């Protein structure tokens, strides 16, 4: 996935696609508490789905990154987006504010924390191989100053969940699961002291060993919520939800989920198979049904839902959003998906 690019450059505009009437109708039927979206938005293959053609042809990736967000947010089903570029490097308050001006008041951003605070090792930029211990791992003071405070100040009311994605932590960290659980919980608790109680802090993991009631309890003590990760490394989302207690009617937490990758694939393999992301190549009906049931239950309980989808989940994130929205509305109306 290409990270979003800087917002500066040519002044060309991107118009929204003329979506079919059934999708507009679905946008009015989808519960208002349910916010669906994608990971990033700068994909020329979405022309006709999200973006109108420009001068008779798709806009390029850079033009979409710089000017496509307003058109994206005009789509009746796209109520959120995951800002993934922040995983690689932090943004300033002004950069966040520039994004906020391009979307409606009701829109919310899901923002990934920089890996500098969630990866226990420093990685080689080319190979991704570990090159040493990361001194800023779980440094709450630095994370607050560099990421949390600029995001909140810049995005304002459009700030949705801040997601701290922990990559596979390695054998050394996982040798003592209670200890790393306590360390992550303490990190989130330190961040919670710095933000408003109604702001969602979420934790996404990539180690199945941590998908447990004990891990959820640790996050609960820190007033943080687990983020479900639909990913080849992780158990099915229904199993994660059960382990974290998110499938209970009396669960007080919002639902935050990221549908990242089709089971059995790596990112590069999926990218090659699914490019240019203009159609559903491999539908993942079990994951869709699980997310739809969880979303409908959560919204019916008066809680917020944030689900973002990657192109590598099924082939085209906007089309996955349409399918998921239809499943959620069917369940919300009393019909099974």
Answer whether residue 3 is part of any domain.
no
Q: How many helices (H) and strands (E) does the chain have?
A: 14, 10
Digit-coded pLDDT (tens) for 177-228 = 999 999 999 999 999 988 888 899 999 999 999 999 999 999 999 999 999 9
- The answer to whether the beta carbons of residues 246 and 228 sit under 8 Å apart is yes
Residue with tokens 């791992």: 137
Closest CA to 315 of 43, 56, 19: 43
- 108: pLDDT strictly greater than 60: yes
Digit-coded pLDDT (tens) for 73-82 = 999 999 999 9
Burial 70-94 (b: 16+ CB within 10 A, else e): ebbbbbebbbbbbbbbbbeebbeee
Q: Residue 125 sits in a domain of what CATH number?
A: 3.20.20.410
Range of the domain at 293: 21-332
Q: Work out the percent of the chain whose per-residue pLDDT is above 70.
A: 94
Answer whether residue 15 is part of any domain.
no
Q: Which stretches of the chain are assigned E, i.e. beta strand?
A: 34-39, 78-83, 108-112, 121-123, 130-133, 159-165, 201-204, 225-230, 255-259, 305-309
Q: Work out the percent of the chain whose per-residue pLDDT is above 90.
A: 83
- The answer to whether the beta carbons of residues 36 and 78 sit under 8 Å apart is yes
- Give the three-class secondary structure for 57: strand
Residue with tokens 């079919």: 20
Answer whether residue 238 is part of any domain.
yes
Domains in the chain, number: 1
Answer whether residue 114 is part of any domain.
yes
Answer whether residue 157 is part of any domain.
yes
Paired tokens of 123: 């990685």
Digit-coded pLDDT (tens) for 16-27 = 999 999 999 999
Angle between the N-to-C axes of helices 285-300 and 237-244, in degrees from 0 to 180, rounded to the nearest 10:
40
- Give the three-class secondary structure for 44: helix
CA distance 40 to 85: 8
Answer whether residue 337 is part of any domain.
no
Q: Tally the residues of the chain.
A: 337
CA distance 285 to 324: 9
- The answer to whether the beta carbons of residues 278 and 284 sit under 8 Å apart is no
Angle between the N-to-C axes of helices 177-192 and 213-221, in degrees from 0 to 180, rounded to the nearest 10:
30
Residues 6+ apart with CB under 8 A from 124: 130, 131
Digit-coded pLDDT (tens) for 250-281 = 889 999 999 999 988 888 999 999 999 999 99
Beta bridge partners of 82: 39, 110
Digit-coded pLDDT (tens) for 274-310 = 999 999 999 999 999 999 999 999 999 999 999 999 9
Q: Is 45 exposed, middle or buried (0-12, 13-18, 19+ CB in 10 A)?
A: buried
pTM here?
A: 0.94
CA distance 87 to 164: 9
Answer whether residue 168 is part of any domain.
yes
Phi-psi region of 43 (alpha: psi -120 to 50; beta: other; left: phi over 0): beta
Q: How far is CA 130 from the centre of its chain?
A: 25
Answer whether residue 73 is part of any domain.
yes
């Amino acid at each position: 996935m290409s990270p979003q690019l800087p917002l500066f450059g040519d002044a060309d505009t991107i118009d929204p696609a003329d979506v079919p009437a059934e999708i507009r109708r679905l946008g009015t039927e989808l519960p208002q508490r349910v916010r669906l979206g994608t990971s990033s938005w700068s994909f020329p293959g979405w022309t006709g789905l999200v973006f109108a053609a420009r001068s008779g042809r798709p806009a390029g990736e850079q033009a979409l990154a710089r000017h496509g967000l307003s058109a994206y947010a005009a789509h009746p089903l796209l109520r959120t987006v995951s800002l993934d570029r922040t995983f690689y490097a932090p943004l300033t308050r002004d950069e966040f504010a520039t994004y906020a001006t391009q979307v409606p008041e009701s829109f919310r951003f899901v923002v990934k924390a920089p890996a500098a605070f969630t990866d226990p090792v420093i990685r080689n930029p080319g190979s991704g191989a570990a090159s040493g211990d990361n001194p800023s791992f779980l440094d709450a003071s630095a994370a607050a100053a560099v990421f949390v405070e600029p995001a909140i100040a810049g995005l304002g009311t459009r700030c949705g969940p801040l997601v701290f994605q922990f990559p596979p932590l390695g054998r050394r960290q996982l040798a003592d699961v209670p200890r790393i659980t306590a360390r992550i919980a303490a990190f989130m608790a330190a961040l919670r002291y710095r933000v408003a109680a109604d702001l969602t802090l979420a934790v996404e993991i990539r180690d199945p060993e941590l998908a447990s009631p004990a891990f959820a309890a640790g996050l609960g003590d820190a007033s943080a919520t687990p983020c479900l990760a639909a990913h080849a490394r992780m158990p099915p989302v229904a199993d994660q939800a059960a382990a974290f207690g998110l499938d209970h009617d009396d669960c007080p937490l919002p639902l935050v989920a990221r549908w990242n990758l089709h089971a059995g694939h790596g990112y590069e393999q999926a990218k090659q198979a699914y490019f240019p992301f203009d159609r559903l190549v491999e539908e993942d009906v079990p994951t869709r049904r699980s997310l739809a049931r969880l979303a409908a239950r959560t919204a019916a309980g008066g809680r917020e839902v944030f689900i973002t989808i990657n192109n590598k989940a099924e082939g085209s994130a906007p089309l996955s959003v349409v399918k998921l929205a239809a499943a959620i509305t069917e369940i919300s109306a009393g019909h099974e998906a």
